[in-house]
Amino acid sequence: MTPRIGKHPETPRRFTRRKEVFTLGPHPTPGVPRAAPRTQSESHTMNIPTAPGFPPPAAPGAIGARLSVMMFLQFFLWGAWYVTMGPYMASLSIDAKLIGWAYTVGPIAAIISPFFLGMIADRFFATERVLAAMHILGGAILCAAPAAAGVSSEAFIGVVFAHMLCYMPTLGLTNTLSFHNMTNPQRQFPMIRVWGTIGWIAANWVISQLKFDTSPNMFYVAGGSGILLGVYSFSLPHTPPPAKGKAFSAKDALGLEALAMLKSRAFAVFMLCSFLICIPLAAYYSFAGEYVGASGFTKIAQTMSFGQISEIGFMLIMPLFFARLGVKWMLIVGMSAWVLRYGLFAGAADEQVKWMVLAGVILHGICYDFFFVTGQIYVDQKSNPAIRGQAQGFLVLVTQGLGLGIGAQVMGRVASANTTEGVRDWGTIWVIPCAFAAVVLVIFFLAFSEKKKPDLTA
């Protein structure tokens, strides 16, 4: 039992070792892209003296509500502009290549953020203070996005990049702060994290109800919520820097120690296909919002939120599928959903068949949960405890960083090449990622073979 502050220094208390892990965000789902390496408690414990004046982590209760508010605002901020940035840029007649660049800066920031976290945030400053500073600065920067768009497209993208450099590290910081203040992260964290997805959905609905789907006002809503979260962060429980006194390692930050796992043919095939499938995935994040608007949906953000709603639903039933399908078929179902989604988008293009477009959006739940979440569980079960956190970091680097970054560039060029006098050839634009995803699916089906099935129900 954890003693209260002020007990005799010799009184034993529970000490929790830490390990690094990664989490993917809401979509990025906007599924998302998703986050930087953070720490999560292990089950190994030992008794050590409690230092006078050093409080043990607080147990959730009232604090659980405070952490839920933090998560809600964290993803409300992201969801308020990320989904509709593409339609906003298209309304300004900005070239599709530049829209691709606007959706590339997030993955670049995701690659950079582990270095910031490892060298500075995790070693020198309390987590809640870094979180506050980054959100206040990032929120103020985002409020400048409309003014930058009036100067040039490049200036606008520069502001978005500056904001993402502030925002991406906070994805990991919120996880660190949550884990530090929980008594049983495995049970408690999902109940906290779900409020992030709810926050994303709420932001989409707010933007659509205010009719800001293609308005610069979306950036004021998002930036204002970021500043609010920054101020709120000062009230969060004190969380000391988790890596204070430890040397920084670039190999640890990027998860490069996990490269040895590529000696396993199954793991190498999984990583290669995860990288390749994220290239066509970028088409959804970059251009689905614009396509939804072009198909006759006036409330773009609200329509796109059905993807996150389905994500919650499929997450609840995933354990049933795990038991029946196993890792290979779970991943195949996830990849197949991407092929089907883009096929529906392409088939709906000529006649603007709304139900097909909406069905493609709703498929996001299967696309994200069955592939990304299954992939995280597979990596966790495949790796040994010593490098488990680094293995998750390597997965995020390959998918959310390299895959989505390259994909945004590729799809930006595809969309630009299939645009004539401002009119997109949506049928062709969606056929290309559909075919790409189908090829990756076939490669995975033929090449992936896991002799020993990971325990996905653990």
pLDDT of residue 17: 40
Of 125-129, 250-254, 304-308, where does mean pLDDT reach its minimum? 250-254
pLDDT of residue 39: 38
- Overall average pLDDT of the 257-278 stretch: 88
Assign 211 to helix, strand or coil: coil
pTM: 0.79
Reduce the secondary structure of 77-136 to three states and give it as a string: HHHCCCCCHHHHHHHCCCCHHHHHHHCCHHHHHHHHHHHHHHHHHHHHCCHHHHHHHHHH
pLDDT of residue 4: 41
311 close to 27: Cβ distance less than 8 angstroms: yes
Q: How far apart are CA 245 and CA 177, in angstroms?
A: 19
List C-alpha distances in Å: 370 to 111, 295, 310: 24, 27, 12
pLDDT digits (tens, 9 = 90+) for 379-400: 877 877 766 666 777 888 888 8
Please, what is the average pLDDT of the chain?
82
pLDDT digits (tens, 9 = 90+) for 164-219: 999 988 887 888 788 788 787 667 777 888 899 999 999 999 999 999 999 999 99
Task: Looking at mean pLDDT, say which of 31-35, 60-64, 452-456 comes out highest.
Answer: 60-64
pLDDT digits (tens, 9 = 90+) for 201-210: 999 999 999 9
Q: How far apart are CA 90 and CA 429, in angstroms?
A: 15
Among 395, 339, 330, CA closest to 24:
395
Residue appearing with tokens 């930006």: 412
pLDDT digits (tens, 9 = 90+) for 61-81: 788 899 999 999 999 999 999
Assign 376 to helix, strand or coil: helix
List C-alpha distances in Å: 325 to 139, 143, 426, 438, 453: 43, 46, 34, 20, 11
Among 333, 239, 201, CA closest to 39:
239
Look at residue 9 and tell me whether its pLDDT is greater than 50: no
pLDDT of residue 19: 39
**What does the longest C-alpha to C-alpha distance in the chain come to?**
76
Would the CA dihedral through 15, 19, 25, 29 be positive or negative?
negative
Q: Which residue has the higher pLDDT, 281 or 251?
A: 281
Q: For 17-42+63-447, give the CATH class.
A: mainly alpha
Residue appearing with tokens 């994220």: 278
Q: How far apart are CA 449 and CA 332, in angstroms?
A: 12
Express as a percent the part of the chain with pLDDT over 70. 78
Determine the straight-line distance between the first and last CA of the chain, rounded to whole angstroms: 26
DSSP secondary structure string for all residues of 301-329? HHHHHHHHHHHHHHHHHHHHHHHHHHHHH
* Tokens found for residue 299: 């409330």
Among 373, 302, 423, CA closest to 26:
373
DSSP 368: I
Q: Taking the domains of the chain in order of start, what are their residue ranges?
A: 17-42+63-447
pLDDT digits (tens, 9 = 90+) for 342-356: 999 999 998 889 999
pLDDT of residue 316: 80
38 close to 179: Cβ distance less than 8 angstroms: yes
Of 3-7, 102-106, 143-147, where does mean pLDDT reach its minimum? 3-7
Classify 402 in phi/psi space as left (phi over 0), alpha (psi -120 to 50) or beta.
Answer: alpha
